Structure 1
Amino acid sequence: MTGPHQDQPLVSAGAELDEADAAVVMVHGRGATARSIVAMAAEFDADGVAYLAPQAARNTWYPNSFLAPVERNEPGRTSGLQAVEDAVGRATDAGIPVERVGVMGFSQGACLASEFVARNPRRYGFLAALSGGLIGETVDPDAYEGSVEGTPVFLGCSDVDPHIPLERVEATTAAFERLDGDVTERIYEGMGHGVNEDEIEFVGGLVADIAD
């Protein structure tokens, strides 16, 4: 497809893609950049991993809250999902098995990453959604079909996040459990909207696992 995000750069870090044993697609949040989320890769102690971060046009994947009716976030939402798919495809085209490709994101990027994996179910290296959840006015866990075949799924969020209702995190957990994900949900008391050291450590472990 062609959309607002299709002509944007793909930022890379870590191992060269044609020499990497694993890859992580990193999806930035609203108002941030691909370069800003790729910087998080420095926190992960794993060799042989290529990090790939698509860039949103004007630094925003879709205009409204992820809780808005889906049509109000088009064409950005669909274009963003395509950008994630294209990044995963870059890794697999380089010979990295999809089960060694992790998908992660923060905030708006976490929502997009979650939605991508749920709508394209197969065995990935992992999914890590930091302060995010599935997209739409409502979420019906039974509406998602297929299997992620035991993919490790990590959902981390505050209990008082001003942008991400706890109920949506719980609904996202239920959806991925139905999709056969190996789900870990961690809710942090009073954290607000951000990423903490526990989340970094957990995701670092997921990255190390696909690099082994």
Structure 2
Amino acid sequence: MSGPHQGQDLVTAGTPLSDARAAVVLVHGRGATAQSIVQMGTDVHADGVALLAPQAARNTWYPNSFLAPVEDNEPGRSSGLQAVDDAVETAIDAGIPREAVLVGGFSQGACLASEYVARNPRRYGGLAALSGGLIGETVDPESYEGDIEGTPVFIGCSDVDPHIPIERVHATTETFERLGGDVDERIYGGMGHGVNQDELDAVADLVAGLLET
């Protein structure tokens, strides 16, 4: 598709794709950059893993809250999902199996990463959703179909995140459980909207697991 986020840079770091055995696709949040999420990625990186981060036009994937009706966030939402897919396919084209590709993100990026895996259900190396959830005014876990075949899923969020209702976090967890994911949901008391060390450690464990596939 052609949309606002097509033609933007794909930032890479870590092990070069030509030498990598696994990859992590990182999706940045609202107002952030691909370079900033790659910097976070270096905290969870392991030798042999390529880092790939698509860049949103004007640093924002979609204009409104992820809780707004889906049509209110078009074409940004669909264009963002295509940007995630393009990054995943870049890794696959380099010879990395999908089962060794982890998709993750923070905030808006976590929402896009979650939506991408849920809408394209197959076995991935993992999903890491930090302070985010599935996109839309409502989420019905039973409306998602397919099988992610035991994909490890980490979902971390505060119980008082001003942008992410805890009910949406739980609905996202239920959806991925129904899709056959191996889900680890962690709710942190009083954290607000951010990322803590426990989450980074959990994602680092997922990244290390990519090299065991």
Instruction: Flag whether TM exceeds 0.5 (same fold).
Output: yes
Segments of 5+ residues of structure 2 without an aligned counterpart are none
Matched-pair contact (CA < 8 Å) for 1:13–1:38: yes
Please report how far the alpha carbon of residue 42 of structure 1 lies from its aligned counterpart in structure 2 after TM superposition. Answer: 1.9
What corresponds to 1:129 in structure 2? 129
The within-5 A match list for 1:76-115 is 76-115=76-115
TM-score calculated relative to the size of structure 2: 0.99
What corresponds to 1:169 in structure 2? 169
Please report how far the alpha carbon of residue 45 of structure 1 lies from its aligned counterpart in structure 2 after TM superposition. Answer: 4.8
Please report how far the alpha carbon of residue 18 of structure 1 lies from its aligned counterpart in structure 2 after TM superposition. Answer: 1.2
d(CA) in 1 for partners of 2:44 and 2:75? Answer: 33
Matched-pair contact (CA < 8 Å) for 2:26–2:41: no
Please report how far the alpha carbon of residue 41 of structure 1 lies from its aligned counterpart in structure 2 after TM superposition. Answer: 2.1
Matched-pair contact (CA < 8 Å) for 2:162–2:193: yes
What corresponds to 1:201 in structure 2? 201
d(CA) in 2 for partners of 1:144 and 1:169? Answer: 16
- Report the AA paired with residue 104 of structure 2: M
What corresponds to 2:144 in structure 1? 144
- Report the AA paired with residue 14 of structure 1: G
TM-score calculated relative to the size of structure 1: 0.99
Instruction: Give the secondary structure class of the aligned counterpart of 2:18.
Output: helix
Matched-pair contact (CA < 8 Å) for 2:110–2:133: yes
Instruction: Give the secondary structure class of the aligned counterpart of 1:51.
Output: strand
- Report the AA paired with residue 114 of structure 2: S
Q: How large is the RMSD of aligned CA atoms in angstroms?
A: 0.6
What corresponds to 2:75 in structure 1? 75
Please report how far the alpha carbon of residue 4 of structure 1 lies from its aligned counterpart in structure 2 after TM superposition. Answer: 0.1
Segments of 5+ residues of structure 1 without an aligned counterpart are none
d(CA) in 1 for partners of 2:141 and 2:150? Answer: 17
Provide Cα deviations, 1:58-104, integer angstroms capped at 9, x if missing partner: 00000000000000000000000000000000000000000000000
Aligned length: 212
Please report how far the alpha carbon of residue 44 of structure 1 lies from its aligned counterpart in structure 2 after TM superposition. Answer: 2.0
Matched-pair contact (CA < 8 Å) for 1:23–1:50: yes
The within-5 A match list for 1:2-81 is 2-81=2-81
